[in-house]
Amino acid sequence: MQLVVTEEQRELRDALRRFFADRSPSAEVRRLMGTAEGHDPRTWALMAEQLGLQGLAIGEEHGGAGYGMRELAVVFEEMGRAVVCAPFLATVTAAAALQAGEGGHDLLPGIADGTTIATLAVAEEDGSWDPGSVSAVFEDGVLRGTKDFVLDGHIADLVLVAARGTNGVGVYAVQDDTNLVRSALPTLDQTRKLARITLDGVPARRVGGEDALRRALDVAAVALAAEALGGAQRTLDMTVEYAKVRHQFGRPIGSFQAIKHRCADMFVLVESARSAVLNAAAAADGNPAGLPAAAALAKAYCSDAYAHTAGEAIQLHGGIGFTWEHDAHLYFKRAQASRQLFGTPDRHRGRLAEAAGLTGAGAAP
C-alpha cells in the first residue's frame, strides 16, 4: 500500500486550503452555527462546481471523478482544519453505501453534481452504530421505526435507512418522505447538525445489504479520523503560534520547558494520527479485508488525539483560551462530539480486539 502523499494530493490540499480560508473563516462558521440549515448553499454548490468534491470518490460512470479514500482523506483533513459547516460527511457516507450496494446507483449522479444532499440513518435510541443493534423494520414495502443522531437529517434530500427486512439488515432508500418526520436535536457541536427521523409507513426500496452498510460505516470512520487529524493539526499550530508571541517574565512562554514538552506531546499525537489516517485510507482503496481493523484503529486513535490537543490548546492559551470568543472552543466541541459519532473510541478498540481474536472484548456504542 502507498502510504505517502502524492504531488496531486498536495495540490488538492493547497486548493482546498485557499477555498476554505475564503469560504469558511471562523466568523462564517459562527454565523452558520446559528442558522437552521447549518450550511451555506452557495458554498455547497461551489464545492461541486469548482472543486468537484461531492463526486470526488464516485465512479466516472456515475458522474464522479473516480478517485478514492486517499483523496477524500485530504478533503476531510482540510475541512477539519477549518471546522467547515457542510453536509459533506453525511453525503459521502450515503454515497459509500450506494456504491457498495447492489442497487441505487441511479442516485449517485445527483450526489456527484451537488444537487442531492444525502444521509445515512443508522443509530437509534441506544446510540449504537452497530448494524446488529438495528431495530427499524422494512415490511410490505415501507419502513417503520425511529432513527436518532442522523447527520443533516433535517435537510437531506435523500435519506438512506438501515433496517431489518426479510434478508436481514440492509440499506433502504426513502422514495416518498410524506410519512417521514424530521426533528432537529440539540448538539454539543453546533457546527454539525443532527436530527431524529421517525418512520411511520415510509415507502422505500432496498439498495444494499449489511455488507454495504458496514463498508459505509468504515468509510465514515476513516473520514472522521481524517477530519480529526486536520483539527488536531490546527490546534497544535495555533498553540505554537501563541506560545511564540505570548510573553511572561520577559520571555516567550514557548521558551519554558513545561510548555515545550506539552507542545512536543501534541506533535507526536498529530503525526501518529497522520500515519493512522494514511494507513486506513490506503486500506479503503486497496485492501478491503483490512479496512475494518484499519478504520477502527484510525477512528479510536485520532478521536482521542484530537480531544487531547483541543483540550491542551485551551489550557495553553491561558485566560483567553477559556473565553467562548476564542476559536479553540470550536475545535474542542467538534472533537468531543466527533468522539461519539459513528462509534466511540472504546467501541472501535473493541472491534480491534475482536479482529485480533481476543474474547470478551468490550463493545460500547
What is the DSSP track for 141-188? TEEEEEEEEEETTTT-SEEEEEEEETTEEEEEEES--TTEEEEEE--S
pLDDT of residue 212: 97
Cβ atoms of 219 and 68 closer than 8 Å:
no
Same-domain check for residues 194 and 231: no
**Which residues neighbour 91 within 8 Å (Cβ) at sequence distance 6 or greater?**
54, 111, 116, 117, 118, 119, 152
Contacts 24+ apart (CB under 8 A), 24-32: 24/82, 24/83, 24/84, 24/85, 26/83, 26/327, 26/330, 28/85, 29/82, 29/83, 29/84, 29/85, 29/191, 29/330, 30/330, 32/85, 32/191
pLDDT of residue 264: 96
Pairwise CA distance, residues 279 & 275, whole Å: 6
Please write the tens of the pLDDT for every residue from 211-267. Answer: 999 999 999 999 999 999 999 999 999 999 999 988 888 898 888 889 999 999 999
pLDDT of residue 322: 78
Residue 203 included in any domain: yes
More confident position, 245 or 72: 72
Instruction: Provide the 10 A C-beta neighbour count for residue 352.
Output: 17
More confident position, 298 or 317: 298
Same-domain check for residues 231 and 191: no
Closest CA relative to residue 283, chosen from 215, 358, 211 = 215
pLDDT of residue 1: 56
Same-domain check for residues 237 and 249: yes
pLDDT of residue 319: 81
Residue type, 36: A
**Which residues neighbour 138 within 8 Å (Cβ) at sequence distance 6 or greater?**
161, 163, 164, 165, 170, 172, 204, 206
Residue 155 included in any domain: yes
Closest CA relative to residue 65, chosen from 7, 108, 21 = 108
- Name the one residue in this structure whose C-alpha cell is 489550557: 315
CATH number of the domain that 258 lies in?
1.20.140.10
* Share of the chain residues as helix, strand and coil, in percent rounded to the nearest 5: 55, 15, 30
Cβ atoms of 9 and 67 closer than 8 Å:
no
Give the pLDDT mean for 68-81: 97
pTM for the structure as a whole: 0.94
Same-domain check for residues 34 and 85: yes
Residue 97 included in any domain: no
- Name the one residue in this structure whose C-alpha cell is 433496517: 163
**Which residues neighbour 90 within 8 Å (Cβ) at sequence distance 6 or greater?**
117, 118, 119, 120, 151, 152, 153, 156
Q: Is 301 exposed, middle or buried (0-12, 13-18, 19+ CB in 10 A)?
A: buried
Same-domain check for residues 276 and 337: yes
| Local structure of 25: helix, strand or coil | coil
Same-domain check for residues 176 and 262: no
**Domain final residue pick, 112, 147, 182:** 112
Pairwise CA distance, residues 288 & 267, whole Å: 30
**Domain final residue pick, 80, 112, 144:** 112
Please write the tens of the pLDDT for every residue from 121-146. Answer: 999 999 999 999 999 999 999 999 99
Residue 254 included in any domain: yes
Strands 251-252 and 247-248: antiparallel
Please write the tens of the pLDDT for every residue from 149-174. Answer: 999 999 999 999 999 999 999 999 99
Residue 96 included in any domain: no
Same-domain check for residues 163 and 77: no
- Residue 76, pLDDT above cutoff 60: yes
**Domain final residue pick, 209, 235, 265:** 209
- Residue 279, pLDDT above cutoff 60: yes
Mean pLDDT of the chain: 94
Same-domain check for residues 195 and 232: no
| Local structure of 36: helix, strand or coil | coil
CATH number of the domain that 77 lies in?
1.10.540.10
- Residue 271, pLDDT above cutoff 70: yes
- Residue 361, pLDDT above cutoff 80: no
Total structural domains in the chain?
A: 3
- Residue 278, pLDDT above cutoff 70: yes
pLDDT of residue 106: 96
- Residue 360, pLDDT above cutoff 60: no
Q: In this structure, what C-alpha cell is assigned to residue 45?
A: 454548490
Domain that holds residue 73: 7-89+105-112
Pairwise CA distance, residues 272 & 309, whole Å: 13
- Residue 90, pLDDT above cutoff 90: yes
pLDDT of residue 320: 82
The region that residue 143 occupies, defined by phi over 0 for left and psi between -120 and 50 for alpha, beta otherwise, is: beta
Residue 98 included in any domain: no
